[in-house]
Each structure stands twice: as structure tokens, then as C-alpha cells.
Amino acid sequence: MSSELRELAESVFVDAYDRDAVGLDTDLWKTCEQTGLARMTLPESAGGSEGTLADAAALLEAAGAHAARVPLAETDLLGGWLAHAAGLDVPDGPLVAVAADLDVAADGTVSGTLPRVPWGRAVSTVVVLTGARVVVLSPSALTVHEGTNVAEEPRDTLVASGATPLAAGDAPDGAAEELALRAALGRSLLLAGAARGALARSIGYAGERVQFGRPIAKFQAVQQQLAEAGSEVAAAAAASAAAARTASDRGFADDATTFAIAAAKSRCGASATAVARIAHQVHGAIGFTREHDLRLTTTRLWAWRDEDGNDSYWNGVVGTRALNAGPDGLWPLVTGTP
């Protein structure tokens, strides 16, 4: 399943590739919906493909590698999941979920601010976890202050003043923790993909760019840099895939899943930093231009490493667990076997 899926995803993303466009790629989104990629892990009743987290992992990695401009993680792993888990109908179209502190009035209307919502202007609905409640809001009922991350992806601040939710329900137990973990997992997989994309581009470029009469790929200093980037890409791939696997096997409520996702997001963040640095160094000045599309992956590496908890945040989570485990508990913690 996974390798066919990967091929399908790669071909869909390659066809959609457009270095100059920004914002939601509506054609690509339609294709994702038609091919079942858009709601990979959701149940059929919610318009989903009932795939595994491993399937979603392959898809998101590919989306990151090709800089696909569609909210796949947001729709499937976050918005769709949260609405469904709260017992609500999963709305159509691209979705997103965020946690926020909204004021819920006696008549059910809500007020408050949702800062930097991914794809906020472009989604059909925002699923908000507020306290123990889940409310589904349409952006058309909110004031949208457009913003972006450093990759020019929409990160819009949405303001509700007495907005009427399309639906509301009770949040499942542990929803806040699970939402954060799902977001970090999705982001890790996207990072691993973007790192691969940046590396592949750099290797290609090093084979074409000639200086001193030969391709720069023939210089050992360049090779050593790219090999280091290769090991960082491999680390990000291994960490994010293993975290997806752990979540899939054990569920999000298991402590081993928290540990794995925390470690993976931290590792992918560190890889992002190293790979983006090396990719730009190898490309020289051309990679620093608008004209060149290296930026499509490197700016995503810069944006995503700091979203859904940066390396430092997740290192704090891992470090706290390690210190609580103590000298004798550290190894069992790392192996996931008490």
C-alpha cells in the first residue's frame, strides 16, 4: 500500500508544482479530494480513506518534498480528527483545528482570537478546541487578519465576536494533548520531506554547476557537506517515520507516543537547520534569489521547524522525561520497554 500511495502522491504533487504561485492550490486540493488523499486516515463515514498513520506519513513526507500548497495535515490529522472525535459531522473542504481560549456565551455564540491559524483564510471551517468544548466555525463569520509564515503560507489571525458556531460538542478526553501531538507529528513529516527536497535539489545543482573546470560535486569539500546533509535527511526521515509508527501502534494516549513525537519533532527541527544551511551554501548566490526554487523547500524548513513547538520546546519535554527516569530509567525510556 505505502509504496503505491507514495507514487500516487508524488505524481500528483509533481503535476501541481508551480514555483511562482502562493496560497492554497485549489486545483491540487480538488485532486487530493478526488483521489482520497485529502482525508487519508478519517473513517469512510467522514469522507475518509480509512488509511493508517503510516499512509498519512508517506503522503505528508511527499507533500513536504514537493512543497505542495495544500493543508493535508491540517484537514486529516487535525480538523477532521477533532470534529469526528467530538462526535460532530466532519465538514467538507479543507479544515484546520486549533486550541484557543474562547468566551462561550449562554446562547452558544463565541468570542475571542485565534492567532496565526494555518490556512485560516482558505479553509471551509476551523475546528476549535476551547476548554472541554469543540466548536466548529466558518471563517466567513470571523474577521480575518491575513498573515504568513516565512514560507509565505497563510497564517491568519481570526477574530470571533459573538460568532455562531456551525456545530458544537464535548471534547474527548486528552484532546489538547493529542491535538498538539498530532500537529507536531504532521509537521515532523513535512519537515522530513522538505529536507529531502532541499537535498535532492542541492545534489542536482552540484552536478550541473561548473567552477574551476569541473562540476562542484567533484570537490571533496562539497561532497562532505552534502554527505552531512544526507545524514541529517536520513535522521529526519527515520525519526518522523518511527514516530508515526509508534503513534499508529500504540495510540496517542500512550506515553511512548508522546516521547517519540517529541523526540522526532526535535530531531527534525535540528535537521531542518543543518540541511537548509548546507543547501544554501552549496547553491551559492543563485539559491538566495526569488528566481530560484531552492527557497520553496528551505523557507518551509525555516518556517516549520518553529511551528507546533520548536526543537527547544520538545527538547524540554524529552529532557524532563529523561531526568524523571533517572540514570537507571533512561535506557528503558529510549527503548520504550520498561
Partner 1 sequence: MSETLTKLPALVPEPVELPGHLAQLRAEVREFLAAERAAGKWTPGADVWLSGWDAEFSKRLGARGWLGMTIPTEYGGQGRTALDRYVVTEELLAAGAPVAAHWVADRQIGPSLMRFGTEEQRRKFLPGIARGEIYFGIGMSEPDSGSDLASVRTRADRVDGGWEMTGTKVWTSGAHHAHAFFALVRTSPKDENNRHAGLSQFLVELDRPGITIRPIPLLTGAHHFNEVVFDHVFIPDEMVFGELSSGWAQVTGELAFERSGPERFLSTFPLLASLVGELGKASDVDAGTRREIGALVSRLWTLRRMSLAVAGALESGEAPELAAALVKDLGTRYENEIVDASRLLVDIPPDPGAEPGFARLLAEAVQHAPGFTLRGGTNEVLRGIVARGMGLR
The residues that touch partner 1, with contacts defined as CB under 8 A, are: 10, 14, 17, 65-66, 196-197, 199-201, 203-204, 206-207, 217-218, 220, 222-224, 226-228, 230-231, 233-235, 237-239, 241-242, 245, 249, 259-260, 262-264, 266-267, 270, 293, 311-312, 314-323, 325-328, 330-331, 333-335, 337
Shorter beta-carbon distance to partner 1: residue 89 or 306 = 306
Compute the least distance from the CB of residue 71 to partner 1, in Å: 21
Of the pair 44, 328, the CB lying nearest partner 1 is at 328
Minimum CB distance to partner 1, residue 2 (Å):
8
Tell me whether residue 157 or residue 310 sits nearer to partner 1 (CB atom): 310
**What are the strands of the beta sheet with 143-145, ordered from one edge?**
103-104, 110-118, 155-163, 143-145
Pairing of strands 210-211, 103-104: unpaired
3-state SS, residue 99: strand
Instruction: Tell me whether residue 144 or residue 234 sits nearer to partner 1 (CB atom).
Output: 234
Q: Cβ of 206: how many Cβ atoms within 10 Å?
A: 19
Q: Closer to partner 1 at the Cβ: 159 or 330?
A: 330
- CB-based contact 171:135 (threshold 8 Å): no
DSSP state of 330: H
Edge-first strand listing for the sheet containing 95-99: 95-99, 125-130, 133-137, 167-170
Q: Whose Cβ is closer to partner 1: residue 139's or residue 287's?
A: 287
**In the complex, least distance from residue 40 CB atom to partner 1, rounded to whole angstroms:** 18
Least distance to partner 1, CB of residue 199, Å = 7
State in angstroms the smallest separation of the CB of 137 from partner 1.
Answer: 35
Q: CB of 120: closest distance to partner 1 in angstroms?
A: 28
Helix (H, G, I), strand (E, B) or coil at 98: strand
Residue 303: helix, strand or coil by DSSP?
helix
Burial of 213 from C-beta contacts in 10 A (0-12 / 13-18 / 19+): exposed
> Which helix H or strand E contains 158, and what residues bound it?
strand 155-163
State how beta strands 95-99 and 125-130 pair. Answer: parallel
